[in-house]
Chain A
Amino acid sequence: MAVKGLDIFKLTPKSNCKECGFPTCMAFSMKAATGAVAIEKCPYISEESKEALSEATAPPMKTIKVGAGDAEATLGGETVLFRHEKTLVHKNLFAVELSDAMSDAEVDAACAKLEKINYDRIGEMMFVEVVGVRFAADQDKFVALVKKVADCGKIPMIITVDAEVAKAAVAVAGAKAIIMGATKDNTEAMVEVAKAADAVLGVTADSIEALHDLVEAIEKLGYKNLILNVGEASIKEAYANAIAIRTSAIKGNDRTFGYPSIVFTNKLAPGNINLQIALASAFVLRYGSIIVLEEMDFNAALPLFGLRQNIFTDPQKPMRVEPKVYEFNKPTGTDPVLVTVDFALSYFVVAGEIERSKVPAYLAIPDAGGYSVLTAWAAGKFGSNVIANFIKENNVADLTTSRKLILPGKVAVLQGDLAELLPEWEVVVGPNEAMQIPKFLRDLQA
């Protein structure tokens, strides 16, 4: 539990008056520390102390909503530094940047790219969630561009330090747009604009100490709907700051830094998309909540969305894939059937190799308890009966006219039994290692 009973006890008058329903102040304090009874039950603890306690017992990192309607997303709310400790709960968002300095043709081209990046990856739609619009010179054009972004269903991020410009843009941006944002020179004006529009305010400062001061100043102005810029001056600083901010919030109980963060890889590596992909990947693991790139084509989207999909998963869930028959390389009903276990890593390795082979094939995955091939076999979860029953129950024979059933080489011992259980199939022993699958499948085809 977060607050110790003794800490609460020190705030009571220690009079044991029993008004809280407990025999002693100590008994009350111990219960209150576990959250089983509200601090408010004791009328003698000062308001000030109660406020401090509620702050102390609040989660270390705020949860912030960005965007409206279908585009709404949640950031922050994390409680750990590493995903093996407890699930990372709110996936980072990816963003690209536009500007009123771009020609209409350039903007159209960028928008066409954004439309293309919208695809299904293992049951989840992948797309760029946030579009930043950086103010250069032309306010009308800028505002129109922000509106266009909002109309396209993206979360608009208004990038300007000019509070008047921000005010005009946020008026067309929809609820919970992001204003990027506040600096030490415009603090009050920006907070006012963000507050009035209920927007998320991005905070930027020259150093991590200055950022801390600025967040405190903004909180004092009564605004806590913030996102923190890890810095744009150098990769070194941005990386160190991203880690320091998250560590302070989660390990150091520093609520001033208990906010999501934003990383502008386009500022850290301008013109170098490969370095931006590398940086974005590093920040998916190390605490970027919104990660901005210059642009997003499939060479960036395929790895980045895949990585994000991996990292923001529940580490407590067994590493398994759904037992069923998977199809690869567009099989046509005449192609061979491979068998492996439902252990996720085995599946991914085998699936990758079948794809690499480009040979159309089916992959049958029975329920093997989520173990690797040898372990599942040793545990009796991947024997000839399990495989034969799966093939029969799923009517695999109706899927394909091929009667070749390929066993992992490591369980070659099952071949005889399985051939007896599945007389219409030709049970073939496949390779020992997944990397030999492409050659094996091509040879089989020949």
Chain B
Amino acid sequence: MYFEINILKKGNRLGGNKKMPYKKAEQKFSGKINTCEIGAGDAAITIGGENSLPFLGSEGFKTAVGIAITDSPEDWAECFGTIYGDDLNNPAAFAKAAIEKSGADFLLLKLASADPNGANNAVENCVATAVAVEAAVNVPLVIEGCKNAEKDAKLLEEVAKALEGKNVVLFSAVEDNYKTIGAAGGMAYGQKVSAESAVDINLAKQLNILLTQLGVKSKDIVMDVGSAAVGYGFEYVASTMDRIRLAGLGQNDESLQMPIVTDISNDAWGVKEAVFTEAEAPEWGNLEARGIGMEVSTAAACVVGGSNAIIVRHPESVKTIQGLVSGIIG
């Protein structure tokens, strides 16, 4: 419905001559996104807290920009070897270099080596990696497992225990393991729990409700609502984020008022645009530039869609998205 005003009251409009000064059409929202603190001490940052669509309010909303590292960099494009050298194979050194080179607000550690269908690295080893990485940097941490629900439940529980007091984000709990990760991580050891749904507003809502029913406090939950590289079905990502934010803000739906954390570092660097070498796609030009292009485009689209924290892989992408965010905030 786009015409709701009484045209008779607008006599000047009917007259057709008088000027109508510009009046901003405000979208007023009754809901508010939760504020979530991650990290501890000097390193702590807060995300969320907005009461409008991204960047339209006056509440000091700011998207945090994180950088991803991994304990299994074999698949990463060659340019990362050039950037990090030998540090690439030592997660603590990798973490330190990533933060120094990018100036990121926080760090995502991917413990992909834990994958039972891959290297099947033992939980103790992965926990040791997480502890070493934590000690190496002074920014909040997001810790991701290997995306095997069973292994991640064990792994993230132990990570939560080992890093008690560091207020890290356990990334992520899914339907099959939210109980363990929620109870151990979110409650026993006081970490933040990320609820992962795959581009589906109903699933996102359901998982948040399950976690709160379990006893995890709303303010300790963040959402990973899923993503995809631009050009690869990103329309569903865009619409899912819009709908989640409109539900949380417009309909004051408390089960969807958690801050959104989006990791696009795998999506963007996993599609052919960022994978095909210059020999394989000579007309496309430099691979590193393409990867950054895919990454900053996808990240920017998520940032305006409502991601409160966005995670990228390349230091240049971190700087670019930080530039975008500070530019929009002004």
Contacts and interface: CB of A to CB of B under 8 A. Distances in A.
Interface of A: 2-4, 7, 10-11, 48-49, 51-53, 56-57, 60, 79, 82-84, 116, 121, 208-209, 211-213, 216, 234-237, 239-240, 243-244, 247-248, 250-254, 256-257, 268-269, 272, 274-275, 277-282, 284-286, 297-300, 302-307, 309-311, 313, 315, 319, 344-345, 348-349, 351-353, 355-356, 358, 431-433, 435-436, 438-439
30 contacts: A2-B2, A48-B14, A51-B16, A56-B3, A79-B2, A83-B238, A247-B27, A248-B22, A248-B24, A274-B293, A275-B296, A278-B297, A279-B327, A280-B297, A285-B301, A285-B304, A298-B285, A299-B286, A302-B284, A303-B231, A306-B230, A306-B232, A307-B298, A311-B234, A352-B271, A353-B270, A355-B272, A356-B272, A432-B117, A436-B117
B147 A433 contact: yes
A355 B117 contact: no
B118 A284 contact: no
Contacts of B228: 345, 348-349
Contacts of B242: 82-84
Contacts of A313: 235
Contacts of A281: 230, 296-298, 300-301
A310 B330 contact: no
Interface residues of B, number: 80
B235 A52 contact: no
Contacts of B204: none
Given A285-B305, A431-B117, A298 B290 contact: yes
A242 to B, nearest CB: 10
Contacts of B1: 2
B236 A319 contact: yes
A298 B123 CA distance: 42
Contacts of B304: 282, 285-286
Contacts of B20: 216, 254, 256
A239 B293 contact: no
Nearest to A211: B22
A11 B271 CA distance: 61
Given A51-B16, A235-B330, A236-B328, A356 B25 contact: no
B238 A309 contact: no
A3 B15 contact: no
A83 B2 contact: no
Contacts of A353: 270
A440 B23 CA distance: 59
A306 B272 CA distance: 12
Contacts of B297: 277-278, 280-281, 303-304, 306-307
B3 A2 contact: yes
Contacts of B229: 303, 306, 352
